[in-house]
Amino acid sequence: MIRFAAMQMFRPLNRKLLRDIIGMWGQVIAVSLVVACGVAVFVMMNGTLASLQNTLAAYYDRYAMADVWAPARRAPLQTLDTLSKIEGVRSVEGRISAAGVLDMPLEAEPVKARIISVPDGKAPAINRLYMKAGQLPARGLEQVVVADDFAEAHRLRIGDKVSATLYGVRRELTVSGIALAPEFIYSIAPGEMIPNARRYAIMWMGYEALAHAYNMDGAFNEAVLLLGPTARVPDVLGRVDTILDSFGGVGAYHRDDQLSDEFLQSEFTTLGTLGGMLPPIFLGVAAFLLNMVITRIVEHEREQIGLMKAFGYTSNAIVWHYLRFAGVIVGLGVLAGCYMGYSMGGGMASIYQDFYKFPELKFAPGSLIYVKAAGFAVLAAVLGVLLAVRKTISLQPAVAMAPPAPTDYSKIGRIAANARWMDQGLRLIVRHIVRWPGRSAFTCLGVAMGMAIMIGAQSSRDAMNRMIDMQFELVSRQDLTVVFTEKQNPAVLHELAAIRGVLASEPFLAASATISYGHKSRHQGITGVMQNAQLNVLLDQTDRVVNPAPRGITLSASLADAIGADLGDTVHVRFREGERKEVSQLVQKIVPTYLGTPAYMDVSAMQEIMQEGDRISGAYLMVDTRWLDEIYSLLKDMPAVAAVSTNQTSRHSMKETMDETMGTMTFFNSVFASLIAIGVVFSGARISFYERQREIASLRVLGFTVAEVNAVLLGELAVLTFLALPLGAFIGYQLALTINTEMSSELFRVPTVVSNWSFAYAASMILIASILSAAVIAQQVKKLDLVIALKTRE
Amino acid sequence: MLTRAICFDVSGLTKVYGMGTAEVRALRGVDVTIGEGELIVLLGPSGSGKSTLLNILGGLDSPTDGTVFFHGENMTAMTDRQLTRFRRENIGFVFQNYNLMPGLTARENVELVTEIATDPLPADEALDLVGLGERVNHFPSELSGGEQQRVAIARAIAKRPAVLFCDEPTGALDSKTSIKVLGALNRVTKEMGTTMLMVTHHQGIAPLADRVLHFRDGRIEKEIVNSERAAPEDIRL
Ligand SMILES: Nc1ncnc2c1ncn2[C@@H]1O[C@H](COP(=O)(O)OP(=O)(O)O)[C@@H](O)[C@H]1O
Ligand SMILES: [Mg+2]
């Protein structure tokens, strides 16, 4: 047995394999690296997604995440019995969910709070709390459990006091605990676009105390339901709505429509899409490179192949030899890639844990992901090798062995013959490129793809940045957004306009509603905006300002898509507040949007429908920034004002938020893309050195200096690299287009933009990689043993 | 012969490849003086060190021990850069397998050298000298082996090298073509007074030389001086 193994070891092909690997280690490392990056991206992206999904599922399960939320105005607690009898409902809990305002010492602006009741004396059975510290509020006391992120942002500890305005009454609440909840993994203040732990608090208070504060004794305004496995969701929702209708039910909704879950799912979709697209592209580039390298090695060794066949080696044995060569490369790549992917994935997990509020998020995608990654890499390798050896293997031994005739340049050769200004070196460069159009194109394409994936990797970030810029430069041009506690008389607007430093003001009306078309519907707030608005506007496809339709409804393209409505269709609108009017509205306009799925109406038309007079929900203000602080404190003290947000802060924190998750992922991706690009460029340079050693040696023997030889060898690479730059930019743009189209979800219409910065970054990485490769090759030209190079036959 | 100026002065030259058990002693102490304008033929069995000597004299390889003086200048002390310059200015090489640039025509292959030489022959003239005046615009792939070798010779002599090294220049050619190639070599070196060292395993070529060095086991075993150089047409291969 041992002897057999030893014999296996030293069979000539094994020895050749070993020597090839050692002799071409630079090449081996470069291609392995490229494979490793493809694998790493696969493991990181899909692993992060799998970890998130697994963690989410476990969290939901252990902490009894509700299936259905049913808000109402005020329903007696007895109603819960009726609800629990609905077929498919496993359990029900009623609670109070209330809005409040906090005055926090660390925050100049009033802080919005959502306060939710927990049963007195026991833990909630649905949407349970993960207690990080402290305990649930004691019965009857004005104690609160605060969300972990808010506690952290405001450095709150157990026993600290928080002053809050609940239902118009100022109260001092005592922090009894710090917690996380499965329904608030992602939380965002109403009317905001991104989470901001400093500006929005989730709190839990004992039922008795909260009911007392909001005058809700013996009642609830939100039921949460757990469903059994066989429950039919639409039926349950319908039954709940019927039961709660007389108590001001505003429409029950399933977990799919719950803000936190919906956001997570949309993030998962994005991750899944990116994870489904980038790794295959990366691995594709790796396969391409492997193919290029093996093809050229095989071509280079065609005589040896002929010889081996003449000695009686089968074609299969020879294919197997190259497959093993590729196998070693891929094996190294897979090992390194899994490790890199695992490390980066760990990094991503801790970032996501910060961003989302999971009790614990570990990078634990399960071993299948590594197996899959390895499988894909091996598949790519096998494909790359088989395509490479196919042609040479089928050659007759005699043909393969015949010393190759000098490459025939005669067909294309006269090229540049008459250009006297060219020296022979330049002529060699031009002719070599033209003589091997396939090879040159391949090298060029390889480099271009390296560049393209860098652009592609950056593009999601570019797109996000663009969306934010669009939003704040073109759409939300106001400096401040003021939201009233309750709808106010338009006279308040004059009050606001009269504040020193306020340059312009515009009212808006906002109401939550359900918009449906056919059997598709969505909970979506409708914003009533002014005609000829200047501060917060609608845009058309060409970013020109348009007015909302004076009658009927204006939908965002994303919303129209979501419910399947088109221009001229009639949608059903059910307001979920105030008089809860139901109306049919003609879709008069569809406008593109970059964020969310908004719907708009003309403000007066909307007031008419809602029949609440000419009251407004808030105002957009343009201010002289010198007065900003004073305006702030003035607004904060106005009893009608619930929240003030500045565009600058929003924009800043929006970008910051994006940079945290998407930005990091993009960063990792573009690191990998850059490594791949470097690998491709280096391999291209290395292989052409390998092929042309003899020519290089001849030139050196003729007395050409190292620099002169390099000018010929590297000149060609330089030409191909420069050709690759525009090509790479083009392919990169197409790639960005594909990725962004794929990524455009219901919530985000992703514009395809590739920033100049991304182009410049990708191009410079290519140039740097080329220069580094050139430096390595130049060293090798210098070290080339002329005698040996000339002795070995081509 | 005694009246000639000294071109190469070689003493105690050894060359060891590899180390330990893999050690190969290619040259084991070679002493030889080569005069200007001499035509030397190196004969000997394969592996006896002929190419090694040629490569060291041509600045392609460095000796393990011993010294080589070229016109009084110590070559063993030269840097890589100096060796390149030395090759560029003084040395022509012709190898068994031509080593032409496949991407350049015959003329362009010669021009490759004339472009970097100080006082070269015009490329066409060099090709005329080897009898290829008609084929200057052909690519190597369009030339026969003998023609390719003559292009290589034209390329080697176009810069008017002081020394021409030929390592089995006719090794890949039939005898008729070989004689043509040798004729070209003989003519141009005679015309330009070039010193030439030619490695061959053809006894028949020996009469062309001024001196014949017989190699065995890395040493010059014997040295035969011809009273006069025979014409290539008169030898039999
Ligand atoms: N690069 C090398 N490495 C190891 N041994 C070599 C190398 N080049 C030549 N040799 C050995 O040196 C000896 C002399 O070689 P060479 O000068 O080429 O002989 P010749 O030209 O007379 O046939 C041979 O034994 C050969 O195997
Ligand atoms: Mg030899």
What ipTM was estimated for this complex?
A: 0.80
pLDDT at A528: 93
The ligand minimizing its distance to the Cα of B46 is 1
Between chain A and chain B, how many beta carbons pairs sit less than 8 Å apart?
98
pLDDT at A320: 84
The secondary element (H helix, E strand) that includes residue A693 is helix A693-701
Q: A311-325, B101-115, B186-200 — which one is most confidently predicted on average?
A: B186-200
Q: What is the mean pLDDT of residues A636-661?
A: 79
Residue B32 has pLDDT above 50, yes or no: yes
- From chain B, the residues in CB contact with A432 under 8 A are 103
Closest CA to B198 of B54, B48, B29: B54
The ligand minimizing its distance to the Cα of B56 is 1
**Among A199-203, A208-212, B183-187, whose mean pLDDT is lowest?**
B183-187
Residue closest by Cα to atom 2 of ligand 1 = B17
What is the Cα B103 distance to its own chain's centre?
24
Cβ pair A703, A501 in contact under 8 A: no
Residue A1 has pLDDT above 80, yes or no: no
Residue A578 has pLDDT above 80, yes or no: no
* Ligand 1 pocket mutation, candidates B15, B24, B61, B165, criterion most atoms within 8 A of CB: B24
Instruction: Name the token pair of B171.
Output: 């090794």
pLDDT at B104: 80
Q: pLDDT per residue over A510-522, tens digit each?
A: 988 888 887 677 7
- From chain A, the residues in CB contact with B113 under 8 A are 702-703
End-to-end CA gap in chain B: 27
pLDDT at B162: 92
Task: Give the per-residue SS3 of chain B.
Answer: CCCCCEEEEEEEEEEEECCHHHCEEEEEEEEEEEECCCEEEEECCCCCCHHHHHHHHCCCCCCCEEEEEECCEEHHHCCHHHHHHHHHHHEEEEECCCCCCCCCCHHHHHHHHHCCCCCCCCHHHHHHHCCCHHHCCCCHHHCCHHHHHHHHHHHHHCCCCCEEEEECCCCCCCHHHHHHHHHHHHHHHHHHCCEEEEECCCHHHHHHCCEEEEEECCEEEEEEECCCCCCHHHCCC
Residue closest by Cα to atom 19 of ligand 1 = B47
pLDDT-derived band at A396, boundaries 50, 70, 90: low
Q: What percent of chain A clears pLDDT 90, i.e. is strictly above it? A: 31
The structure tokens 């760990």 sit at: A346
Higher per-residue pLDDT: A46 or A385: A46
Ligand 1 atom with the shortest distance to the CA of B215:
22
What is the Cα gyration radius of chain A? 33
Q: In what order do the strands lie in the sheet with B39-43?
A: B91-95, B163-167, B195-199, B39-43, B211-216, B219-225
pLDDT at A10: 46
pLDDT at B206: 92
Residue A594 has pLDDT above 90, yes or no: no
Residue A402 has pLDDT above 70, yes or no: no
pLDDT at B3: 67
Give yes or no for A426 touching B (CB within 8 A). no
**Among A59-68, A302-311, A469-478, A777-786, whose mean pLDDT is lowest?**
A302-311
Instruction: Name the token pair of A609.
Output: 């429908």
d(CA A703, CA A105): 80
Give the E-state strand segments of A533-684 in sequence order: 538-539, 545-546, 553-556, 570-575, 582-591, 599-602, 616-623, 641-646
Residue A419 has pLDDT above 60, yes or no: no
Residue A9 has pLDDT above 70, yes or no: no
Cβ pair A145, A202 in contact under 8 A: no
Q: Closest Cα of chain B to A771: distance in Å?
A: 23
Residue A416 has pLDDT above 80, yes or no: no
d(CA A258, CA A264): 10
Residue closest by Cα to atom 6 of ligand 1 = B17
pLDDT at A794: 40
Q: pLDDT per residue over A24-38, tens digit each?
A: 788 888 889 888 988
pLDDT at A758: 87
d(CA A636, CA A631): 8
The backbone region for A201, taken as left when phi is positive above 0, alpha when psi lies in -120 to 50, beta otherwise, is beta
Closest CA to A161 of A174, A178, A151, A171: A174
Instruction: Name the token pair of A42.
Output: 């696969």
The structure tokens 């280096």 sit at: A682
d(CA A722, CA A730): 13
Domain boundaries, chain A: 17-66+262-405, 67-261, 422-476+654-794, 477-653
Residue A336 has pLDDT above 70, yes or no: yes
pLDDT-derived band at B25, boundaries 50, 70, 90: very high
- From chain A, the residues in CB contact with B138 under 8 A are 410
Q: pLDDT per residue over B189-208, tens digit each?
A: 888 889 999 999 888 999 99
pLDDT at B219: 95
CA of A756 to the centre of ligand 1 (A): 58
d(CA B194, CA B34): 12
User: Beta strand B211-216 with B219-225: parallel, antiparallel or unpaired?
Assistant: antiparallel
Residue A5 has pLDDT above 60, yes or no: no
How many residues are given for chain A? 794
Higher per-residue pLDDT: A225 or A258: A225
Q: Which residues of A116-143 are buried (b: 16+ CB within 10 A; e: fewer)?
A: bbbbbeeebebbbbbbbebebbeeeebb
Residue A749 has pLDDT above 70, yes or no: no
d(CA A330, CA A384): 11
Cβ–Cβ gap B85/A698 under 8 Å: no
Give all domains of chain B, ordered by start, each with its CATH number: 36-65+79-234 (3.40.50.300)
- Cα nearest neighbour of B98 on chain A: A698
Residue B84 has pLDDT above 90, yes or no: no
pLDDT at A157: 95
The torsion angles phi and psi of A638, rounded to 5 degrees, stand at -75, 125
Q: Which residues of A409-427 are buried (b: 16+ CB within 10 A; e: fewer)?
A: beeebebbeeeeeebbbbb
**Among A60-69, A767-776, B108-117, B155-164, whose mean pLDDT is lowest?**
B108-117
- Cα nearest neighbour of B58 on chain A: A701
Q: What is the mean pLDDT of residues A568-592?
A: 87
- Cα nearest neighbour of B155 on chain A: A702
**Among A641-645, B76-80, B159-163, whose mean pLDDT is lowest?**
A641-645
pLDDT at A441: 85
pLDDT at A7: 41
Q: By three-state DSSP, how is residue A310 classified?
A: helix
pLDDT at A180: 95
Give yes or no for A432 touching B (CB within 8 A). yes
Instruction: Name the token pair of A549.
Output: 């339709």
Residue A764 has pLDDT above 70, yes or no: yes
pLDDT-derived band at A524, boundaries 50, 70, 90: confident
Residue A791 has pLDDT above 80, yes or no: no
CA of B51 to the centre of ligand 2 (A): 4
pLDDT at A744: 66
pLDDT at B196: 95
Instruction: Work out the mean pLDDT of chain A and round it to a whole number.
Output: 84
